[in-house]
Amino acid sequence: MFRIGFSPVRSEDRLSLSLDGDRITINGQRFDLAPLDEGAALPAFHPWVEGEIVRQGGVILLRLRLPHGPDAPEEARFPKPATDASEVPGNTPWDGEVIDQPVDWAGMIPAESRNTAALREARALALQQVTARLEAVALAITGAVPLVEMLSWGPKEAAARAWVSGDAGAEARALIEGEATVTGEEPGTLAVRILANADAYRAAVAALTGLRRKAEVALAAAATPAEVGAVAAGIDDQLRTMAG
């Protein structure tokens, strides 16, 4: 049994299609797809076939080009999937010889290989998405800060801690007092604010790092693309909670 989707195309060509069990005849060329295993995929075997052919639930799924003229009805320009040749808009009977054609079964991709590849791709995509969301949350926390300023956070924290503890040397004092002069803050107030920001940022980084590592472990353990999606959704929920 077949389920055929269509890609309508403006063309003077004509399609003659017939279906018989697992055999399909396209413009007088007949192909027997009975050896196609459940869940397996086969590359396109005819110029009018688009993409791969898959058997799911015993049904052979494929897509065909569907030519139509300039004044074609809506059913030909926007065709619905068909399970019988009689449902194909503009299908033309073939009045010539029907010739059996070979199928290159060496190109068939087993279901297990397809599932493995799909799982690998789902994991990679999910990890990319999780990483992008983590970066977005981190950016929301820090704001659009110039790189040179971010590079100063470590020295500024050290200077602020030295100031608060009363051990600030000349270099630390210059760093705190220089910024305080520009902002109009008291150096001690600025030092306390710097430390509060540093502590909050450190906690956020720890949480984001933990989520990333948690996601990597959970994605590696996911056995199906659906489980991968569930892991990604769970991380999303936790990120929304963090973002408030």
Q: What is the pLDDT of residues 59-81, one digit of tens each?
A: 999 999 999 988 888 888 899 99
Q: pLDDT confidence of 140, banded at 50, 70, 90?
A: confident
3-state secondary structure the chain: CEEEEEEEEECCCCCCEEEECCEEEECCEEEECCCCCCCCEECCCCCCEEEEEEEECCEEEEEEEEEECCCCCHHHHCCCCECCHHHCCCCCCCCCCCEECCCCHHHCECHHHHHHHHHHHHHHHHHHHHHHHHHHHHHHHHCCCCHHHHHCHHHHHHHHHHHHHCCCCHHHHHHHHHHHHHHCCCHHHHHHHHHHHHHHHHHHHHHHHHHHHHHHHHHHHCCCHHHHHHHHHHHHHHHHHHHC
Q: Which residue has the higher pLDDT, 33 or 116?
A: 33
Reading the block at residue 177, the tokens are 């007092």
pLDDT of residue 241: 78
Q: Is the pLDDT of residue 240 over 70?
A: yes
Most confident of 29-33, 74-78, 232-236: 29-33
Tell me the average pLDDT across 83-94.
92
Residue-wise burial string across 222-234, b where 16 or more C-beta atoms lie within 10 A, e elsewhere: beebebbeebbee
d(CA 143, CA 136): 10
Q: Is the pLDDT of residue 243 over 80?
A: no
pLDDT (average), residues 220-230: 90
Q: Report whether pLDDT(168) > 90.
A: no
Q: How many angstroms separate the CA atoms of 14 and 53, rounded?
A: 22
Span 80-101, mean pLDDT? Answer: 93
Q: How confident is the model at residue 242 (pLDDT cuts 50, 70, 90)?
A: confident
* Average confidence score pLDDT of the chain: 90
Q: Rounded mean pLDDT of 10-18? A: 92
Using pLDDT thresholds of 50, 70 and 90, give the confidence band for residue 25.
Answer: very high
Is residue 244 scored above 80 in pLDDT? no
Model pTM score? 0.55
Express each pLDDT in 43-63 by its tens digit.
Answer: 999 999 999 999 999 999 999
